[in-house]
Amino acid sequence: MEIAGQIKSDVATAMKAGDRDRVGALRLVLSELQKAAKEGGDDEQAVLRRERKRRRESEAAYRDAGRSELAEAEAYEAKVIDAYLPAELDEAELDALVVRAIEETGASGPRDMGKAIKHAMAAAGGRADGKRVSTKVKEALG
């Protein structure tokens, strides 16, 4: 649990600095990590990606509802979580990964999208959002 240990340390630092927003965001993430560990989930990055995705979806929903103050809070929490995850693949890297996945799976049309997406997601190792990968595969096969 290396990420959880780092987050615990960062919570203490944020508390000393009086940064309430950061403390709150880190405590929520730490709680989710601890819950996953109790349930036998040992992939901390998967938990962080799931929580970041939830924050981004909530941010979009709040913005659509005209609740900008809540959207900003969700965006801040997503940004805090991002600091503990590896950097996302840039467009060129993702394009190359998708092309390689299509070649390796022999995908040739929309029916084969699932195989190509699964292969690309595995190759990305959590450094690309599923929606981005799906869009790229759909463009390449469509």
Domains defined along the chain, listed by start? 2-82 (1.10.1510.10), 91-141 (1.10.10)
Residue 33: predicted pLDDT:
92
Residue 65: predicted pLDDT:
95
Consecutive 10-residue averages of pLDDT for the chain (142 residues): 87 94 94 90 84 94 95 95 88 90 87 89 84 89 82
| 24 HSE (CA, 13 A, CB side) | 8
Residue 62's φ and ψ, nearest 5 degrees, are -65, -40
Note whether 37 and 4 are within 8 A (CB).
yes
Residue showing tokens 């109790």: 38
CB count in 10 Å sphere of residue 74: 21
User: Angle of helix 20-38 relative to helix 2-17, nearest 10 degrees?
Assistant: 160
Structure tokens at 131: 């929606």
Residue 57: predicted pLDDT:
95
Q: How is residue 1 annotated by DSSP?
A: -
Residue 70: predicted pLDDT:
95
Residue 1: predicted pLDDT:
54
